[in-house]
Amino acid sequence: MKKNLKKIRHGKRGFTLIELIIVIVILGILAATALPRFIDVTEEAKKASVEGVAGNFATGILLVRAQWEAKSRPKIDGVNSVLYDGSRFYLTTPSSSKIEDGTMSPGYPIAATPINSSSSPVSAEYASYYEPGMSAQKCQDIWESMLQNPPKATTNISEADNKNENYKYFISYNQGSVNDSAVENYGICHYYLIVSLDRTESGGYKSPANTTSKYMSFTYVPALGLITPYVHSSNQE
């Protein structure tokens, strides 16, 4: 019996150094081939998310405008306006000359308020401008009032990493030209997918500074009713 136990004990052996090296090499090969594919899948998921939200946003913009047309283009205090899906939207109200030269189109959201709001956030004068006195907050108001269950968004980059809030998009606003147009001061809303942004040395998210040459985002230009997605991969500079 003792001889049998001794044989069993002597039969146990660990991995040799060669075998361990072979296992490590195989794991390295698997990591080298599988990881890039996983990264590609993640990048494609991010792109699909931005393109999907941008498509829903564009549909919402068109539905608001269609409602305004269906109601015979109503106005409030000289500003194009319409009730849609539980909110009041204030819309671009350009002059005839801007409509004729194609630099501005009527009927696109520039502000949104609850139905029972007592005052207009936009004057007739500003509603006729290429830059209609908007802000990042007004871009967010449109986002939240128009989309059904929109991804949670913030206009404060320092809040973007707040795990308790689970923000998905960062919203900013600036003025600039569009598609090499002669107009240099179109108001532009930017909607960035937060996980596509760079991080600072301290680990927080870095402001994208209204760029469209990096990150994953889409823009909305109210004066033209134009929505444009930008889906740069995270490894693109």
For residue range 98-146, list pLDDT tens digits in order.
Answer: 999 999 999 999 999 998 876 778 999 999 999 999 999 999 999 999 9
- Any idea which of 31-35, 141-145, 192-196, 228-232 has the lowest mean pLDDT? 31-35
Mean pLDDT value across residues 163-167: 86
The tens digit of pLDDT for each residue in 25-51 reads: 666 665 655 555 544 557 777 888 888
In the prediction, which pLDDT does 43 show? 76
SS3 27: helix
pTM: 0.81
Which residues, in sequence order, are CB contacts of 58 under 8 Å at separation 6+?
227
- The mean per-residue pLDDT over the stretch 141-164 comes to 92
If pLDDT is split at 50, 70 and 90, which confidence band does 19 have? Answer: low
Cα separation, 128 vs 106, in Å, equals 9
Mean pLDDT of 194-212: 93
- Mean of the per-residue pLDDT values of the chain: 86
Q: Tell me the average pLDDT across 183-211.
A: 94
Q: What is the pLDDT of residue 5?
A: 46
- β-bridge partners, 216: 231
Confidence band (pLDDT; 50, 70, 90) for 8? very low
Residue % of the chain over a pLDDT of 90: 63
The CA R_g of the chain, rounded to the nearest whole Å, is 27
Quote the CA–CA distance of 199 and 30 in Å, as a whole number.
29
CB-based contacts of 101: which residues, under 8 Å, 6+ apart? none
Q: At what angle do helices 17-70 and 136-146 cross, to 10 degrees?
A: 80
With a CB cutoff of 8 Å and minimum separation 6, the contacts of 63 are 84
3-12, 143-152, 189-198, 200-209, range with the lowest pLDDT:
3-12
Question: Coil, helix or strand for 72?
Answer: coil
Question: What are residue 216's phi and psi, to 5 degrees?
Answer: -120, 120
Strands 169-176, 153-154: pairing is parallel
